Structure 1
Amino acid sequence: MVMLYHAMGDRMITMTNKPSIFGGASIVASVCVGAGMLGLPTAGAGAWMLWSALALIITMLVMTVSGWMLLEALKNYEYRASFSTVTKDLLGNKVNLVNNVMVYFVGGILLYAYITSAGLMIEKVVNVSSEVASILFAFVFSAFVLHSTRSVDRVSVILIIFMILSFLFGVFGLTFNVDMSNLFNGFSQESHYFPYVFAMFPVALTSFGYHHSVASLRSYYKSEDLAKRAILIGTLIALCLYVVWVFSVYGNLPRYEFGPVISQGGDVDVLLSSLGGAIESERVSNIISIFSAAAIFSSFVGVGLGVFDFIADLLGFENNRKGRMKTWVATFFPPLVLSLFFPFGFLIAIGYAGAAATVWTCIVPALLARKSRAMATGEAGFVAPGGSKMIVLVVFYGVAVAVLHFMGVLGLLPHPGL
């Protein structure tokens, strides 16, 4: 029987036990659908349903193709090669340094945020302090990453299924109480809402930031085509969850009632309280809390896997027990320490994560694909669709979203009066 070495772990797997597409798609979806999803309704409150859905669809398509571009650039490298290796080789040390800083900045900040948030959630259920809860969470869930990509696959599938079920039960009442007149307000009103859509794009981009896991997926499947399918299915799962969620919220809460939610910075408790008139608020709050916990736990292992493989390649750690332990320490110890001593320090930095993410989710993958094609000789192999025009489009999208992000920070984007 043909045997394949599982490069992400230290085991042998058979062709009859090959990785499933849904497992890889679950990793992608789990990375995308973090707790930040609950900020989407507030980000799109000005643009409302049609323009928000359009922003999400456009972003999903661009981010899927940009992930495929990174996959294309990796095709000529060994399976354990990561983002850092291919960027350094094709774009040089300076670009690689900037990209590495951006990748680790966003990945590290997310792990930092997830550890803090998980600790606070567990503290409410178990009679331990948030610090102890954070330590327990970090050690237990990072163990899946330490073991192998296949372990992350399995736990991601379980968490994604649990997340979807809790999500469906949580929004079931909302979805069937949707008032269509709340969603669509006529052509003249929809045209008036258009300027507010620009505030949605930075949030939408960060909601599809899975690219630090692309190299891990390629190594896991030993195939660009299988990784491509997993990426597409994963981003489609995320898109469906996002659209159903904003549809359910906007269909139950009229646009003019979003004023208090926006004034409180999009606080989820305020949003759920505002939805109380549509469905029993405590029940929705409890189920959405369960959903949020599943989203944070699954995002932690998904993001952790991407950062883990990135660090291993960057620092040249071996793929054996000792090497993986070194990688584990470099990946999870810094965000854990920060979470214990400065639990909410990530709030200062996370506001800039969206702009940093545009570098390694759009701009660099497109430049890598361009360089890879220019250097190609012989058989082409896997190529992302769209040709050179798509490369220009992806770069333009990344730059535009970065500009919109800083315009939002400076208060230069249209703000809905509601």
Structure 2
Amino acid sequence: MNKSPSLIGGACIIASVCVGAGMLGLPSAGAGAWTVWSLLAITVTMIVMTISGWMLLEAFKNYDLKVSFDTVTKDLLGSKINLFNNITVYFVGGILLYAYITSSGLILKDVLGVNDKLASIFFVLIFSTFVWHSTRAVDRISVVLIAFMVLSFIFGVSGLAVNVDMSVLLDTISAENNYAPYAMAMLPVALTSFGYHHSVSSMRAYYGCESQAKKAILGGTVIASILYFVWLISIFGNLPRANFGPVIEQGGNVDALLTALGSVIESDRVANAINTFSMAAILSSFIGVGLGLFDFLADFFKFEDTRQGRAKTWLATFLPPLIFSLLFPFGFVIAIGYAGAAATVWACIIPAMLAKKTRDGEKGSEGFRAPGGTVMIYLVIGFGVLTAVFHFLSMLGMLPMFTG
């Protein structure tokens, strides 16, 4: 008798897809909203993103287990909407690689003793080789990186957690009492931090059914939320809100956040653990996102799985974000905000549209169904549209922006 895969295993896969370097953007993005409103924004985003993942499951239910996001979108919504969806998938992958390349250069420049642009080039040339070589190579390096992340996270966060100052965590030392408006600008970064939707079809195939995949998705988003909560409380309880000014001024770049943290952490061991975690998170996300984008572009352009074909895919995957990183080095949080605005398409709007189309079909009432009825479909679409609008309003300076 075949044993069904464990729910813990599937939940951990979803959590690891969510928890990447986006985690490093949350403290800077949430500095204005501070503790209570940041945690509230993350909770609301987690609930909506979990339900939108279930809506994708609902749309997949009448298809073969091997089916992809691309196939179902093309079949149910047509080629034009599918093309737009694919463009946003590519844009999000590209802008995330761009953010990781820029940040890695800024962190590595002191280690390597070269300028940040040269450090970024070295970073891409060395670590993208794993993606070019094979998925197996990515698998092996990912295991090592995740072990580094777990150990450094435990040592670093436990060191921060024991020193949490409640007056800093609740910001009782400042006269500010209007945090809620700043939560709007945080939503695109929060949304990026729950972008697991390209893995929904993999979860369904893994379990062979929608009901178990549904539980794994919920488990994964809950685990990710708990990690974000612990991380934000540990940072906001140590680094006063006013100290985020220089970090935000540099676009939320990770090296600026680490420098600010270093000024309030007394233990070198904790500071080194946080630095190691940050670098491992960026590298892990760079390789994970790089592999996803590499496979997407290989399929899209129909490049062959040969050395020459993989070299073409490598160029299409890594060269554009590297060039943009060298020419226009925007801040980490700014880049992730763009990713969040575009991700609203394939993480909120398209899943809800697919679920509606499925329910309107002949077999719509059979099998798995996401909760909330038609009202939930419109709520998920509304959340996606509002998140994108908030991003563009903040870009235009039309939303309250915290400057420290």
Q: Distance in 2 between matches of 1:305 and 1:394?
A: 28
Q: Given residue 38 of structure 1, which amino acid in structure 2 is its aligned partner? A: L
Match of 2:318 in 1: 336
* 2:43 matches 1:43: no
TM-score (ref. length: structure 2): 0.84
Match of 1:377 in 2: 363
Match of 1:183 in 2: 169
- The partner residue of 1:137 within 116, 127, 131 is 127
Structure 1 pair 219/127, CA: closer, same or farther in 2 (3 Å)?
Answer: farther
Match of 1:212 in 2: 198
Match of 1:269 in 2: 255
Structure 1 pair 144/125, CA: closer, same or farther in 2 (3 Å)?
Answer: farther
* 2:84 matches 1:82: no
Q: Which moved more, 1:34-43 or 1:116-125?
A: 116-125
Partners of 1:264 and 1:270 within 8 A in 2: yes
After the TM superposition, list the runs of 4 or more consecutive aligned residues in structure 1 that deviate by more than 6 angstroms: 119-129, 324-327
Deviations 1:341-367 (A, max 9, x none): 554357569353221111111011111
The alpha carbon displacement at 1:282 in A equals 4.6
Structure 1 pair 57/345, CA: closer, same or farther in 2 (3 Å)?
Answer: farther
Q: Which moved more, 1:254-263 or 1:347-356?
A: 347-356
Q: Distance in 1 between matches of 2:285 and 2:237?
A: 28
Q: Distance in 2 between matches of 1:112 and 1:264?
A: 16
Match of 2:153 in 1: 167
SS of structure 2 residue aligned to 1:252: coil
**% identity of equivalent residues:** 58
Q: Which moved more, 1:84-93 or 1:254-263?
A: 254-263
RMSD: 3.4
Partners of 2:187 and 2:387 within 8 A in 1: yes
TM-score (ref. length: structure 1): 0.81
The alpha carbon displacement at 1:116 in A equals 6.3
Partners of 2:293 and 2:317 within 8 A in 1: no
Q: Which runs of 5+ in 2 are unaligned?
A: none
Number of aligned residues: 395
Deviations 1:199-236 (A, max 9, x none): 11111111111212222332333332333233222222
Q: Distance in 2 between matches of 1:330 and 1:230?
A: 36
Structure 1 pair 243/332, CA: closer, same or farther in 2 (3 Å)?
Answer: farther
Partners of 1:116 and 1:134 within 8 A in 2: no
Match of 1:255 in 2: 241
Q: Distance in 1 between matches of 2:308 and 2:10?
A: 25
Q: Given residue 333 of structure 1, which amino acid in structure 2 is its aligned partner? A: L
The alpha carbon displacement at 1:271 in A equals 3.0
The alpha carbon displacement at 1:46 in A equals 1.4
Partners of 1:206 and 1:354 within 8 A in 2: yes
1:6-405 equivalences in 2 (<5 Å): 15=2, 19-114=5-100, 130=119, 131=121, 133-141=123-131, 143=133, 145=135, 147=136, 152=139, 159-185=145-171, 192-276=178-262, 278-280=264-266, 282-304=268-290, 306-307=292-293, 310-311=296-297, 314=300, 332-338=314-320, 341=323, 343-344=325-326, 347=329, 350=335, 352-377=338-363, 380-405=366-391
Match of 2:392 in 1: 406
Q: Which moved more, 1:86-95 or 1:275-284?
A: 275-284
Q: Which moved more, 1:286-295 or 1:238-247?
A: 286-295
Structure 1 pair 311/327, CA: closer, same or farther in 2 (3 Å)?
Answer: farther
Q: Distance in 2 between matches of 1:82 and 1:313?
A: 12
Q: Given residue 237 of structure 1, which amino acid in structure 2 is its aligned partner? A: I
The alpha carbon displacement at 1:387 in A equals 1.7
SS of structure 1 residue aligned to 2:235: helix
The alpha carbon displacement at 1:287 in A equals 1.9
Structure 1 pair 378/57, CA: closer, same or farther in 2 (3 Å)?
Answer: closer
The alpha carbon displacement at 1:37 in A equals 1.9
Q: Given residue 375 of structure 2, which amino acid in structure 1 is its aligned partner? A: K
Q: Distance in 2 between matches of 1:330 and 1:161?
A: 32
Match of 1:7 in 2: none
The alpha carbon displacement at 1:28 in A equals 2.5
